[in-house]
Amino acid sequence: MSNTLQSQFFSYQAQTTPYAAGFEVSHARGSYIYGKNGEAYLDFVAGVSANTLGHSHPRIISAIKEQAEKYLHVMVYGEYAQENPVKLCEWLAMHTPAPLEMTYLVNSGAEAIDAALKLAKRATGRSKILSMVDSYHGNTHGALSVSGKEIHKAAYRPLLPDVEFLKFGNEEDINLLDNKTACVIGETIQGAAGFIRPKQSYFKTLKKKCEEVGALLILDEIQPGFGRTGKLFAFEHFGIVPDILVMGKGMGGGVPIGALMASRVLMLQFSHSPKLGHITTFGGNPLIAAAALATAEGLVEENVMEQIPEKEALFRHKLQHPKIKSINGMGLMLAIELESDEYCLHIAKKCMENGLIVFWQLYYNRFMRITPPLTISQDEIVKGCDIILACLDQY
Ligand SMILES: Cc1ncc(COP(=O)(O)O)c(C=O)c1O
């Protein structure tokens, strides 16, 4: 048996599908990932919206190195005041509107979703949760319970009780909220469904109803957050502020992180009656927080978000082709719709053969995701779009 990295990968590292690409990575810089023979792949996926400032951004690498020289892990979450996590939480408080003020740092998006659901139940004393059809919130039992695609859930039932689903963007369904509802949870832009953006009035109507019945609005910005739509968080486009904001992915700039933000009053619920309401050993880890803080500061200091509308316009201008049926999403969270799931998978494979990494959406594979690093240049956008267009012409 050969002893390549790929063969060892298939032998020893547990797989999520029977057909992983098994691409052998050498290193990654900026908008490119390099294979072991030095071949360069332009990255239109960014680790599924995680590499906000591109690969190995010098400010992130040096922040990690600086913290690593001082100390790594010293104590479980919440016990000690450590510079990077404290500064990160302060930065978030300074860059988000009231009442968002305190941040709870955890290890992943799904864990942050679980914590947000617990907080809503704890704060309201209610158990009913409303979520959205076709939503994706992660793969822990809690996050899976509120995800809206039965095919991914059926094998794991029973899941959380008292969860019901609204049609995303449907204002009539909002009437399902009542005074037993602890919270409504939704993505600001639905991801796995194909980057679906609701009509402009939707979140205002939803938030108003939440206030009427005393339910909390949880927005999952794990994917659209951290600048991807051109604002720090996508809710800023819709004129509302959620009660609990959940983030992850792009927040870490390439390291694993999740977090939830809420008002001080809400967030302090975790600290009493019972105390230790949500605990985790590595949440708020200083190394991870160093990377997240560097990402946040880079987003602002390098004017990354200001350039997003122009880059979105360039993508939309370039990606005109008879085989592209629509372009969903906003900012650098775009999805092009092709004729079928099989065709999209085929084109993604052909793009890779031609030096471009693209991917498909989890629930509806006919949507091809375009979520490059936010720092991608105009020339790189043109180059990548030309590869997609050539593949669509040829196959
Ligand atoms: C909208 C949304 N919510 C939650 C998650 C889960 O985050 P994680 O994979 O970090 O657990 C994801 C990940 O893809 C996501 O896109």
Ligand 1 pocket test, candidate residues 140, 152, 249, most atoms within 8 A of CB:
249
Atom of ligand 1 nearest to the CA of 108: 10
Interval between CA 1 and ligand 1 midpoint (Å): 36
Interval between CA 4 and ligand 1 midpoint (Å): 31
Q: In CATH terms, are 24-52+304-394 and 59-301 the same topology?
A: no
Atom of ligand 1 nearest to the CA of 221: 1
Q: Which CATH class is domain 59-301?
A: alpha beta
Place of tokens 């547990």: 14
Atom of ligand 1 nearest to the CA of 248: 10
The residues facing 103 across adjacent strands are 261
**What angle do helix axes 58-70 and 286-301 make, rounded to 10 degrees?**
150
Tell me if 104 CB under 6 Å of ligand 1. no
DSSP assignment of 308-377? HHHHHHHHHHH---TT--EEEEETTEEEEE-S-HHHHHHHHHHHHHTTEE-EE-SS-TTEEEE---TT--
Predicted pLDDT of residue 204: 98
Predicted pLDDT of residue 244: 99
Predicted pLDDT of residue 326: 98
**What angle do helix axes 286-301 and 83-95 make, rounded to 10 degrees?**
40
335 Cβ neighbours under 8 A, 6+ residues apart:
194, 195, 327, 328, 329, 361, 367, 368, 369, 370
* Amino acid code (one letter) for 379: D
Task: Please confirm whether the linkage preceding 158 is cis (ω < 30° from 0).
Answer: yes
Is residue 212 within 8 Å of 120, Cβ to Cβ? Answer: no
Cα separation, 368 vs 26, whole angstroms: 25
Question: Cα 311 vs. chain centroid, distance in angstroms?
Answer: 20
Q: Which helix (H) or strand (E) holds 246?
A: strand 244-248
Is residue 389 within 8 Å of 370, Cβ to Cβ? Answer: no
Q: Which helix (H) or strand (E) holds 107?
A: none
Cα separation, 206 vs 238, whole angstroms: 11
Atom of ligand 1 nearest to the CA of 48: 14
Is residue 136 within 8 Å of 246, Cβ to Cβ? Answer: no
Cα dist. 347→33, 196, 317, 392 in Å? 19, 22, 20, 7
Ligand 1 pocket test, candidate residues 45, 51, 134, 137, most atoms within 8 A of CB:
137
Atom of ligand 1 nearest to the CA of 249: 10
Is residue 258 within 8 Å of 109, Cβ to Cβ? Answer: yes
Nearest CA to ligand 1 atom 6: 138
Question: Cα 33 vs. chain centroid, distance in angstroms?
Answer: 20
Residue burial 276-300, b: 16+ Cβ < 10 Å; e: rest:
ebbebeebbbbbbbbbbbbbbbbbe
Instruction: Classify residue 73 by its DSSP letter.
Output: -
Q: Which helix (H) or strand (E) holds 4?
A: none
Ligand 1 pocket test, candidate residues 136, 168, 360, most atoms within 8 A of CB:
136
* Amino acid code (one letter) for 172: E
Task: Please tell me whether residue 142 adopts helix, strand or coil conformation.
Answer: helix
**Digitized pLDDT (tens) for each residue of the chain, 395 residues in all:** 568 999 999 999 999 999 899 999 999 999 999 999 999 999 999 999 999 999 999 999 999 999 999 999 999 999 999 999 999 999 999 999 999 999 999 999 999 999 999 999 999 999 999 999 999 999 999 999 999 999 999 999 999 999 999 999 999 999 999 999 999 999 999 999 999 999 999 999 999 999 999 999 999 999 999 999 999 999 999 999 999 999 999 999 999 999 999 999 999 999 998 999 999 999 999 999 999 999 999 999 999 999 999 999 999 999 999 999 999 999 999 999 999 999 999 999 999 999 999 999 999 999 999 999 999 999 999 999 999 999 999 99
**24-52+304-394 maps to which CATH number?**
3.90.1150.10
Cα separation, 96 vs 174, whole angstroms: 26
Nearest CA to ligand 1 atom 13: 138
* Residue ranges covered by each domain of the chain: 24-52+304-394, 59-301
Tell me if 114 CB under 6 Å of ligand 1. no
* Amino acid code (one letter) for 366: R
Predicted pLDDT of residue 3: 83
| Residues 239/207/135/330 CA torsion (nearest 10 deg) | -10
Reported pTM: 0.98
Tell me if 108 CB under 6 Å of ligand 1. yes
Nearest CA to ligand 1 atom 4: 137
Tell me if 138 CB under 6 Å of ligand 1. yes
